[in-house]
Amino acid sequence: MATQRFLQLPLGITMDILSRLSVKTLFNCRCVCKAWLSIISDPQFTHLHASRSPFGILIEIFLPPPLTKPMELYFTHLQAEACAAPGSDLQLEEITFSPRNTLPPVDDAMPEFRLINSCNGLLCFGANEGFPLYVCNPVLGEYITIPPANRNDKWLIVGLGFSVRTNVYKVFQLNNPDTEAEIYTIGAGGAWRSIGPPPPGDFNNLSFNNFLHGAVHWIPYGGRSISSKVIQSFDFEREQFRPLSLPSLLAKNQFPYSLTLEVIGGCLHLCVLEDDASKLDMWVMKEYGVQESWTKILAFENLFGLWTERICDRYNPIMFLSTGEILMFYNFERVVCYNQEEKSFRKIKIPSTKKWSFQPIAYSPSFLSLYDIAKAEDVKRVGSSKRYNKLPV
């Protein structure tokens, strides 16, 4: 009876209400009736939900050799009410993505698959520095296979991106700094195109959250030092490489430290870890592409042995919570939360990380369907239609 009354609401109001629900709740709503399934599958709803969906944590598990198993990911949703006050325990709602239900069934002959990056809720992952690549939506269990590029079946750097003007998704790749870059337009018939030579210098793998303003971003490295005093980017609309300036204070130095680059909250964030790992500074580019807008927002000092007896501590930011606290990945072994007012850390317990090494990544799931954006591709769906309408637990 309540469902019937809900269906009598105007479509716009129904979409507005549903778009505020968590991913797991929306999957239950998809099973209520065909009308709700149709609404949640509508591209207009997909866009509305994506604009409101908060980031959660995507967990990639790494098993020690000789243990092997199919790639499995865990998405931990941070419930909004749990972030109401600094210092409160986070309420977590975990979802499992696996080849049994939502991820492509990878070839057993190539077990070492890893995540590459994400764009609008779609994941790009593949074999370690090789093809095939996959673009998938783990929420819907849909995926396409990206064929090997023209020049080689190995890649040096690769990334998924989106062109706002043409409304298409693309994958670009380099297999050698001395060769031409190539690009693959999803939905255009399955052919790689040459886009000319890349900029000079060495290349480094992209971080997972690297897509901003139509481009992916990374920091060029050569050995243990920065090989060029810029951030490099690739614009998917213009299909061009473009350098962005580092903060002027850093650009003048000889880089006796390591840099990590992440897109957090719609801005580029740069973390600077000094060579002895005793100090970590965090910078934000407040106005995209403007060097003068780089602003240091945090400085962590005296980091030695804060949690363990290790000589060097490393902190990688994951996301900012609505409370102003920062979720960070400490020493590649645990998630911690930093309170900026109290200047203190606390541990965050995530069920899926109890036994194995892992990588936590900020990720916002989406109901974007590959059937809507990859019409010329062989879109496949994991599992049966019955499983498709159920969320894995």
Render pLDDT for 191-222 as a digit per residue (tens, 0 to 9).
Answer: 899 998 888 766 666 788 889 999 999 887 64
Q: Is the pLDDT of residue 388 over 50?
A: no
Provide the pLDDT for residue 12.
82
CA nearest neighbour of 277 among 246, 308, 311: 311
> What is the per-residue pLDDT for 225?
44
Mean per-residue pLDDT, 74-92 = 61
> What percent of the chain is modeled with pLDDT above 90?
18
Domain boundaries, the chain: 54-388
Pick from 184, 207, 182, 56: which is nearest to 117 by CA? Answer: 207
User: What topology is assigned to 54-388 in CATH?
Assistant: Neuraminidase (2.120.10)
- Say what percent of the chain tops pLDDT 70: 75
β pairing state of 326-330 and 334-339: antiparallel
What is the mean predicted confidence (pLDDT) over 103-124? 78
Q: According to the model, what pLDDT value does residue 112 have?
A: 65
Which region among 57-66, 248-257, 330-339 has the lowest average model confidence (pLDDT)? Answer: 248-257
Confidence of residue 226 (pLDDT cuts 50, 70, 90): very low
DSSP letter at 197?
P
Residues 389 and 235: their CA atoms lie apart, in Å, by 36
Q: Residue 4's Cα: distance from chain center in Å? A: 38
Q: Which of 18-22, 87-91, 136-140 has the highest mean pLDDT?
A: 136-140
Distance of CA 362 to the CA centre of its chain: 6
Instruction: Determine which of 96-110, 153-167, 313-327 has the lowest per-residue pLDDT on average.
Output: 96-110
Q: Compute CA distances 61 → 244, 263, 277, 325, 382, whole Å.
A: 33, 22, 26, 25, 21
Taking only the tens place, the pLDDT of each residue in 154-188 is 777 889 999 988 889 999 888 777 778 899 999 88
Task: Report the C-alpha gap between 355 and 69 in whole angstroms.
Answer: 14
Cβ neighbours, 10 Å, residue 288:
13
pLDDT band of residue 267 (cuts 50, 70, 90) is very high
pLDDT at 241 over 80: yes
> Among 97-111, 133-147, 166-180, where is mean pLDDT lowest?
97-111
Residue 213's pLDDT is what? 93
- Per-residue pLDDT at 385: 41
Beta strands per DSSP E along 321-385: 326-330, 334-339, 344-348, 357-363, 380-381
pLDDT at position 332 is: 72
Lowest-confidence region among 43-57, 106-120, 167-181, 206-220: 106-120
When the pLDDT of each residue in the chain is averaged and rounded to a whole number, the result is 78
